Amino acid sequence: MLLHARETPMTHAAPVASAERITALDTLRGFAVLGILVMNVQSFSMPLPAYLNPTAYGDLGGANGWVWRLSHLFFDQKFMTIFSLLFGAGIFLFTTRAEAKGESPRRLHYRRMLWLLLFGLAHAYALWYGDILVSYALCGMLVYPFRRRSPATLLIVGVVLIALGSALWIFFGWSMQYWPEEEINSLLDKDWQPRPEALAAELGAYRGGWWTQMNHRVPTSFEFQTFLFLIGVVWRVCGLMLAGMALYKLGVVTAQRTRNFFAAMFAAGMLGGVPLVAYGIARNVAAGWDVRYSFFHGSQFNYWGSLLVCAGWIGMVMLAASAGPRIGVNEPTASPMDDLVALAVHKHVGLAGDLTAGGSSLEARITEPTLFGAIQFLPGGILTFLFRPVIFEAHNPLAFAAAFDGTLLAFLVLWRWRHLLMAARAAVNRPLIAFCWVAFLPLLAGLSFEANFGVIVRHRIMVLPFLFLFLAVPTRQEDSADAPEGQDSSTRPVQVPVM
């Protein structure tokens, strides 16, 4: 989210030169964003209690159970932990760069946190109650005075803060035996196992108009940013930010340690964390997902196991980042979110055509440098950007993996083409869909002029969320099937996925 550079003599604001970027940090940040999306999809698609209690909405049978278990084992809290660590590292980088330029790091940092707070409040109350920017802004203000401390001090204080957050929840779980029964029932009905009518009310709110959603979004956001922030979020996030500063100073998140160190980090994190989280799942299942156990005590296995799995993920990414310098570092890039894939493509994928030393360049296909020539080029350019490389252009296993990804996307678009048409129709009466088209089309057109497969693979991730949203818009037949008996679906606005 926040991109930083090594210290530079620049005296004015300007984009960071690609040669000055810290590739390992950018790669890890992009990896974290993708991992967070896995859990956010669940939050976007189901009622809030289902995020905490998988039995609150639907069941855990068959594919549902496997998807939830895999996401809980490898994603839940793990990638948000990485992101919080990197935010702490970013505070140290940003303020150090400001000092090198002779500016006041305190003034710039708190001004930056204030803007982040304002953006977060707008995001939380206007779009999504699951906003994290408000918490990051407040915690960023709190941890700033610690930035000069030694790595050992930062790690010790960070772990103590994380432990305090855990101790609070263990205490709350112990105290439930003294709670009045009506308080337990209130927690059960509101946050853990709501009645069908309560679930229907939440679903109805978010399937309605933007203003209707406010009845749920505003009080939920306020509770997240006040009560839940004080009893849980502030301790863990502040602790992780301090640990992130320490890990940057120790060279862990910048791939400056040995490959053996990162290999051991990956193995220890996964071998220690995954069994701990899995044991927590087993305990919750054995307890029947009873709110008296699972809400507070049952969550602690993932609370601590996520730290270990997070360390494993960091070790894996740093192993990839330390394999060698990124080929094509002079190529402009606007997004680090797929640098892991780009690293493999740039270094290993062999493609047919007019190849340069990078092994992934395309021939220039614009016949004339005019607006008309660009318009002529666009259809082929869009197809290349979305779906290439194709199978017969690949010369090794990693190339086939990249080609398989594009081929799978092509089949998905062909299979769901009617949904794209319905998404275009929905733009007329759904402001969210209209906004997505306005963002998607210029972005797709601009990126279609890329002339390197490595850059294409790296940048494609920026348009995929919009494309997947369009492909998820129901057709008129599907919409009619969901219409109440006796109601003509043509009189209802097209339903679209809730964001």
Say whether pLDDT at 491 is over 70: no
Q: Which residue has the higher pLDDT, 423 or 161?
A: 161
CA distances from 418 to 422, 470, 473, 478 (A): 6, 10, 9, 11
Say whether pLDDT at 345 is over 50: no
Structure tokens at 221: 């956001």
Could you tell me which residues come within 8 angstroms of residue 365 by beta carbon, excluding any fewer than 6 positions away?
A: 377, 380, 381
Long-range contacts of 38-46 (CB under 8 A, 24+ apart): 38/71, 38/75, 38/79, 39/71, 39/75, 39/76, 39/79, 39/80, 40/130, 42/71, 43/130, 44/128, 44/497, 44/498, 44/499, 45/497, 45/498
Give the C-alpha separation, 390 to 141, whole Å: 48
Instruction: State the average pLDDT for the chain.
Output: 80
CA dihedral of residues 408, 409, 413, 414 (deg, nearest 10):
-30
The percentage of the chain sitting over the pLDDT mark of 70, rounded to a whole number, equals: 77
* Residue range 241-268: mean pLDDT, rounded: 93
Element (H, E) at 305: helix 300-321
Can you give the pLDDT at residue 330?
Answer: 37
Exposed/middle/buried for 482, CB within 10 Å: 0-12, 13-18, 19+? Answer: exposed
C-alpha torsion sign, points 70, 73, 74, 75: positive
Can you give the pLDDT at residue 359?
Answer: 45
Q: Maximum distance among all alpha carbons in the chain?
A: 78
Can you give the pLDDT at residue 447?
Answer: 76
- C-alpha 419: how far from its chain's center? 25
- C-alpha 499: how far from its chain's center? 14
Can you give the pLDDT at residue 413?
Answer: 85
Q: pLDDT class for 364, splitting at 50, 70, 90?
A: very low
Give the C-alpha separation, 129 to 225, whole Å: 9
Q: pLDDT class for 220, splitting at 50, 70, 90?
A: very high
Structure tokens at 422: 């319905």
Q: List phi, psi (to 5°) of 361.
A: -85, 155
Closest CA to 25 of 44, 5, 42: 5
Structure tokens at 14: 């300007």
